[in-house]
Chains A and B, each alone.
Chain A
Amino acid sequence: DTGVSQNPRHKITKRGQNVTFRCDPISEHNRLYWYRQTLGQGPEFLTYFQNEAQLEKSRLLSDRFSAERPKGSFSTLEIQRTEQGDSAMYLCASSLGQGDATEAFFGQGTRLTVV
């Protein structure tokens, strides 16, 4: 399968715990994005990487969220001290971009439930 891969698919955690999600983009895609989606809403942008550089972060992204993309390959999204409001589907997408707008391909997402 050469699509965007996300792990785990589901995560249940207790409030206050830290969680980490992994995203493996489509091979050779230099752009990687994280989005969050809650029920009945469209995906909401969190952050964007071009290769290993994090170039854009949403103003809504609290200090408890951090993302990395070492060596410009896979990416991780960590949420510290989880809160019930963090419960959502976390989506990763990647695209091959050398100029302006290009289509982003999404993974299946990681569904986080904070209890």
Chain B
Amino acid sequence: EDQVTQSPEALRLQEGESSSLNCSYTVSGLRGLFWYRQDPGKGPEFLFTLYSAGEEKEKERLKATLTKKESFLHITAPKPEDSATYLCAELSGAGSYQLTFGKGTKLSVIP
């Protein structure tokens, strides 16, 4: 059964304190690994898609990387406005367009 596990569940950082969020996914049949940001009471906002091990993508203070077993979302010098829940999702299985999400990591950046 597809399973996506994110860690830690919650993370508190001081403004400017860099860190990484982890996402472990089902190893076989990965067709895409997605990162989303979600603010309270709102729908998820698309950030990145990664397709193969070794791939990296960047956007402002965020960088997503992918290995054969997991993905990392690196946050460099975070600001309070980066506070949100970060969701990871996998697309796997031939012919399916169902995203399987993890429970998310709730990030709080303290000024």
Contacts and interface: CB of A to CB of B under 8 A. Distances in A.
B101 A42 contact: yes
B89 A42 contact: yes
Interface in A73-115: 91, 93, 97, 100-109, 111
Interface residues of A, number: 30
Interface in B69-91: 87, 89, 91
Given A100-B32, A101-B32, A45 B44 contact: no
Interface residues of B, number: 25
Contact of A108 (B32, B42, B97, B104): B42
A48 interface: yes
B43 A45 contact: no
A42 B97 contact: no
Contact of A106 (B31, B45, B49, B102): B45
Interface of A: 4, 6, 31, 33, 35, 40-45, 48, 50, 55-56, 58, 91, 93, 97, 100-109, 111
Interface of B: 4, 31-32, 34, 36, 41-46, 49, 51, 87, 89, 91, 96-104
